[in-house]
Amino acid sequence: MDTAKVERVYTSYARVYDHIFGKIFHDGREHAVRLLNLSPGERVLEVGVGTGLALPCYPRTCEVVGIDLSAGMLARCQLRVRELGLAHVTLQRMDASAMEFPDDSFDAVMAAYVVTAVPDYRMVMQEMVRVCKPGGRIILLNHFSNGNPIINTIEKVLSPFCKQLGWRTDLSLATVLDGTHLTVLYKQKVNPLRLWHLVQCVNEKAPNGNGHSV
């Protein structure tokens, strides 16, 4: 997948995305926001905000910034923000692998159904760590391969087909976290069939940007 293709695919999904992925994945989104445990005045980044399905879950006492590559998705998201009066939310069109925010800009970062839908998950993970403050929380809500050899084989076979639809199925959590400064505090299987993982991490980078890898 390349960036232009990802943008085209998800813009084409914009009109139907809520109908397909709305209610069925709502519990996972709601649980993810609760797990952020946001305090009044904190600043949170949602990477791949899409049509904004998770935005009503955030407390209005915090500042929410949502970014997405897809213009079509953001147009739908902006409509949701206006209709619900979400004055604490701002939206920007942005490539998650090259964010325009300074280092340590956010107290918390959430990425729901994003890591396996980008051309370079390593760059996205690096950027999420960079813009999150030391000691900040990073939440991943995603499908990860589960280690079962039979299921893993099926996922690898399906991966080329799924890439044409805009995501991949063959990434493990260990692979995604490799080389980052993230330590897993909590993980749980969520959504139908428990094929998706909700993962809470703490950003262990040092204040000067250095840190240890997991």
Strands 63-68 and 43-47: parallel
Domains in the chain, please, with CATH? 3-203 (3.40.50.150)
pLDDT in tens, 129-178: 999 999 999 999 987 776 655 445 444 544 543 444 444 556 788 999 99
Mean pLDDT of 103-114: 95
Q: What is the CA radius of gyration of the chain?
A: 16
pLDDT of residue 190: 84
Q: Taking a C-beta distance cutoff of 8 angstroms, is the pair 36, 55 a contact?
A: no
Query: Nearest to residue 95, comparing CAs of 43, 131, 134?
Result: 131
- What's the mean pLDDT in 88-100? 96
Q: Are the CB atoms for 55 and 49 separated by under 8 Å?
A: yes
Q: Taking residues 21-47, what's their average pLDDT?
A: 89
Look up tokens 């490539």; give the residue: 95
Residue pair 169/159 in contact by the 8 Å Cβ criterion: yes
Q: CA angle, corner 68, sides to 66 and 71, nearest 5? A: 120
**The model's pTM:** 0.81
Q: What is the pLDDT of residue 119?
A: 83
